[in-house]
Structure 1
Amino acid sequence: MGQRKKAAVLSVLLVIGSIVSLAMNGIQAGLDFTGGVQVEVGYEQTADLEKIRSQLSDAGFSPVVQHYGAETEVIIRMQENAQVLPIDPLTEKPKTVNDYVEETLRADGDALEIKQFQVIGSVIGEELRDDGGIGMLAALAIVMIYVAIRFQLKFSLGAVAALIHDVVIVLGFFSVFKLEFDLTVLAAVLAVIGYSLNDTIVVSDRIRENFRLLRKASPVDVINESLTQTLGRTLITSLTTLLVLAALYFVGGEMIHNFSIALIVGVLVGTYSSIYVAANILLAMHIDREDLMPTQKEGELVDDLP
């Protein structure tokens, strides 16, 4: 806790930087939220991703092309743009996106199979985006109620402040580096909320216990001792989690790269916030052992805390 003021300045700078980036650059929403076309293609030979991107770009699309499982399996995501569709000379009507994409990919004689063609409407994308935002807010509200009931309102405010701190910084990271934000990343953000909350509750439980045991210690000393006692557990948990996430990132395939990145950033920030942010909020609200004493009813004697 001797470094809490420096940590507070760092947190404020990171949050402000994230908010500024989100306001100026926004988030590069994926097709799950914006709507568009998703095509799964199977090739007989190893697929050349650069060639596929070039073919679709020349046809007027702006594709995102990735391997999907094996090197012969490809998933293509792109916005549906009716303006690029040529006229079919037989029907004298614009070709469908499905036909035009398949025709473009077969133009060089490549042997391939369109395994799945999915069009995600913009209305559905907006609903997914809104539902995801509501789900995140609901998670924070439930966390606040749970911590308030289990501990005390000041602990609840500190925990929620730490969670908001983590979520904003993860979103800011994706905004600064212009990484695609889709449903898998949203799931990662919600997982970060759960991970960070778990650490915060462990620390809060130790703080409550030490307030009752260390009667003559100041709040700063109590919190400092509590954090020191839980620091080893926090760091070991974070390290083992990061090892798994690193494995997911390097060998899990391109489809879950952004999911892994969101969790890696979230675990790092969540570990930091469980040590500094929540505890700093408690000290800023002048937490004391009286806040954790049971309420005395009129005419009732309350035994001294052990």
Structure 2
Amino acid sequence: MRFFPQETNINFVSMRFVTYIISAIVLIGSLFYVVNKGPNFGIDFTGGTLVEVRVSETPDIAALRNDLNTLELGAISLQEFGAPDDLLIRLPEQTPLAEQTEQAAQELAIGKVRALLDAKFENVDYRRVEFVGPQVGKELKIQGLYAILFSLGGILLYIWFRFEWQFGLAAIAALAHDTLATVGLFAFTQMEFNLSTVAAILMIAGYSINDTVVVFDRIRENLRKYKKKTMAEICNMSINQTLSRTLMTSVTTMLALVALWVFGGEVIRGFVNALIFGIVIGTYSSIFVAAPVLLLVHKGRGKAVSEEEKKA
């Protein structure tokens, strides 16, 4: 099945200056929000306690928030979590008293919250209680950053050895574009940024590089086959030849993600949001970022052909 006829000849390369501007706006905006506003790090990274409860009646959020603040446990976050009677309570890291451990201080705070909820509602279902210490949160933040950087570095080496360094540079440019745009989305919307989001970013990187490798492989094949065509013509031809496959993969993946978004519940909503955005931005970058950047850095058509002929 094809979305486009095989003989389609859309001049994607001629659009590169427009897409450069679009990508620059997205990246500058993302960088601005990441630096000035920053992601809304979850308990995984900041430390503290997360309590998910289901109460027997729809609560007055404002009144309940005031009641929680009277406990003097710091800046408590309270929000609906899916259904109106599902609540998510975030407690900040508690400062232990003399001869008191961090965990004991946190458990004492949870006990106060439980007592208040049990007194206010007839039935309270404590569905999830998670505690992350501040040191663990700091380590997870560093390890998450390392995971992203090492994955990008590994992808760069793979593309470099499989193709040429110019291909690797173009692939990393596309991956950096997708990663920064995704983090920027979370900084802009203030959706919770947690370990699931890091996993989503790594999945986005894998998805994006898969699309990019397909296009690059076709470019390499066409470089051997059409020795009189310019690099711009080769890039255009290759993108058009793989366009149906790229869009079909994106659409089928999106269908699965939409089902997860609708039926998966709030627990994985942030993870799915990141993947949906990543699929869109990854498809865009494989068409409008990777190949145009390759065209920008790949100097000398003759050299490329001679190297490919040596490999053949």
Q: Normalization by structure 1: what TM-score?
A: 0.85
**Given the alignment, which residue of 55, 62, 77 partners 2:76?**
62
Match runs of 1:78-93 below 5 Å: 78-81=91-94
Determine the structure 1 residue equivalent to 2:186: 174
Q: Tell me which moved more, 242-251 or 10-19.
A: 242-251
Q: What runs of 5+ residues in structure 2 fail to find an aligned partner?
A: 1-12, 98-104
Match runs of 1:1-306 below 5 Å: 1-41=13-53, 43=55, 45=56, 48=59, 50=61, 53=65, 55-60=67-72, 61-67=75-81, 75-81=88-94, 96-114=108-126, 117-287=129-299, 288-294=301-307
Q: Tell me which moved more, 142-151 or 278-287.
A: 278-287
| Backbone CA RMSD of aligned residues | 2.8
What is the CA–CA distance in structure 2 between the aligned matches of 1:244 and 1:114, rounded to whole Å? 30
The answer to whether the 8 A contact 2:220-2:308 is kept is no
Letter in 1 for 2:240: T
Shift of 1:261: 1.2
The answer to whether the 8 A contact 1:47-1:74 is kept is no
Give % identity: 36
Q: Deviations over 1:97-151 (max 9, x none)?
A: 1220111111224223546543211110000000000010000010000011111
Shift of 1:23: 1.2
- Find the residue that maps to 2:93 and give its secondary structure: coil
Letter in 1 for 2:34: L
Shift of 1:21: 1.4
Shift of 1:265: 1.1
Q: Tell me which moved more, 12-21 or 243-252.
A: 243-252
The answer to whether the 8 A contact 1:53-1:65 is kept is no
Change (3 A) 1:183 1:248: same
What is the CA–CA distance in structure 1 between the aligned matches of 2:230 and 2:277, rounded to whole Å? 34
